[in-house]
């Protein structure tokens, strides 16, 4: 029996260890900033849309369906003509469309959690909320696309905002900020509930009363007193009133103030709860 010596043994040199290789590879790169990490995960969310374009179905078909359906169903009965009703309806439909699709943030997040992706993210040396914030920032792009579709279709149907371009831009900016804050609610549900079906069911249970029991479709003065009381404190109603003011070139100070209060309140309450669940899950 013969023994063959390895090259290392023959030359008398030892192979470097992993620790030595890492030490000799140069200085450790700087830890990414909070914004850099969040934007990276936001880009990841957009890349997922690139590879699965069916995810854009909710932000392309739903806006078109909602705008056409409610305009031609209610326009003649409530305002006498669709061209007259679209002036009242479009800011409300814009709010309903974007607020309704915020629930898909929770659905997507719940799916990633079930796959174990977020377990890997939590092991990375990054800002802890970055995966959640990045996913929400990526969804802001989807909200912007849905808003653009509604506005373009509204203009084709006869919507003419007296507030001009500035009024429209202010409306979209406020809507995106409000939707970003609302998305934290569905993010919390995604961490609490164990399936996509459960997240969707709870989200719809919350969204339907908020959107339909509001001033989106009709003037609240035509409603019963008990329903008017709910509509008057509904955050969606405050947002719609503010957007209608922007479209008309008027600043609805009270509605804008309440919209800001609701946005900050949602973020302040559900943001920490979501992060507590994320750290403990």
- Given this model, what pLDDT does residue 179 score? 93
CA dist 209 and 174 (Å) reads: 21
Q: Return d(Cα 66, Cα 70) in angstroms, integer.
A: 6
Q: What would the pLDDT profile of 263-275 be if each residue is shown by its tens digit?
A: 999 999 999 998 8
Confidence of residue 9 (pLDDT cuts 50, 70, 90): very low
The predicted-structure confidence for 14-55, as pLDDT tens digits, reads as follows 676 766 665 655 566 666 677 888 888 888 877 877 777 766
Q: Which residue has the higher pLDDT, 189 or 78?
A: 189
Q: Which residue has the higher pLDDT, 95 or 136?
A: 95
pLDDT band at 258 (very low <50, low <70, confident <90, very high): very high
Confidence of residue 171 (pLDDT cuts 50, 70, 90): very high
Contacts from 127-131 at CB under 8 Å and sequence distance 24+? 127/32, 127/33, 127/34, 127/37, 127/38, 128/275, 128/278, 128/279, 129/38, 129/275, 129/278, 130/34, 130/37, 130/38, 130/40, 130/41, 131/41
Confidence tier at 8 by pLDDT (50, 70, 90): very low
Q: What was the pLDDT predicted at 24?
A: 58
Q: Mean pLDDT in the chain?
A: 84
Percentage of the chain beyond pLDDT 90 is 42
CB half-sphere exposure, 237, CA atoms < 13 A: 19
Q: pLDDT confidence of 281, banded at 50, 70, 90?
A: low
- Positive or negative, the Cα torsion across 136, 68, 57, 188? positive
Report if pTM > 0.85.
no
Does residue 76 contact residue 82 with C-beta atoms inside 8 Å? yes
Per the listing, tokens 């090259």 go with 7
So what's the pLDDT on residue 206? 92
């Amino acid at each position: 029996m013969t023994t063959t010596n390895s090259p290392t043994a023959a030359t008398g040199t030892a192979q470097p260890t992993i620790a030595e290789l890492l030490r000799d590879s140069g200085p450790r790169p700087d830890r990414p900033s909070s914004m850099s990490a969040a934007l990276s995960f936001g880009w990841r969310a957009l890349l997922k849309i690139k590879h699965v374009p069916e995810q854009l179905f909710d932000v392309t078909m739903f806006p078109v369906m909602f705008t056409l359906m409610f305009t031609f169903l209610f326009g003649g009965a409530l305002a006498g003509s669709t061209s007259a009703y679209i002036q009242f309806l479009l800011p409300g439909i814009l709010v309903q469309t974007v607020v309704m699709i915020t629930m898909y943030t929770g659905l997507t997040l719940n799916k990633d959690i079930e796959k174990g992706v977020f377990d890997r993210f939590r092991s990375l040396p990054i800002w802890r909320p970055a995966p959640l914030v990045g996913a929400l920032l990526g969804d802001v792009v989807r909200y912007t696309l849905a808003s653009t579709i509604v506005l373009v279709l509204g203009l084709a149907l006869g919507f003419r905002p007296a507030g001009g371009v500035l009024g429209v831009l202010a409306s979209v900016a406020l809507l995106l900020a409000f939707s970003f804050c609302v998305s934290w609610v569905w993010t919390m549900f995604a961490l609490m509930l164990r399936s996509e079906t459960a997240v969707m069911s709870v989200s719809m249970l919350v969204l339907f009363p908020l959107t339909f029991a509001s001033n989106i479709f009709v003037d609240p003065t035509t409603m019963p007193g008990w329903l008017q009381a709910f509509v008057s404190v509904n955050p969606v109603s405050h947002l719609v009133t503010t957007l209608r003011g922007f479209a008309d070139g008027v600043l609805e100070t009270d509605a804008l103030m309440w919209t800001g209060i609701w946005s900050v309140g949602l973020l302040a309450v559900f943001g920490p709860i979501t992060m507590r669940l994320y750290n403990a899950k």
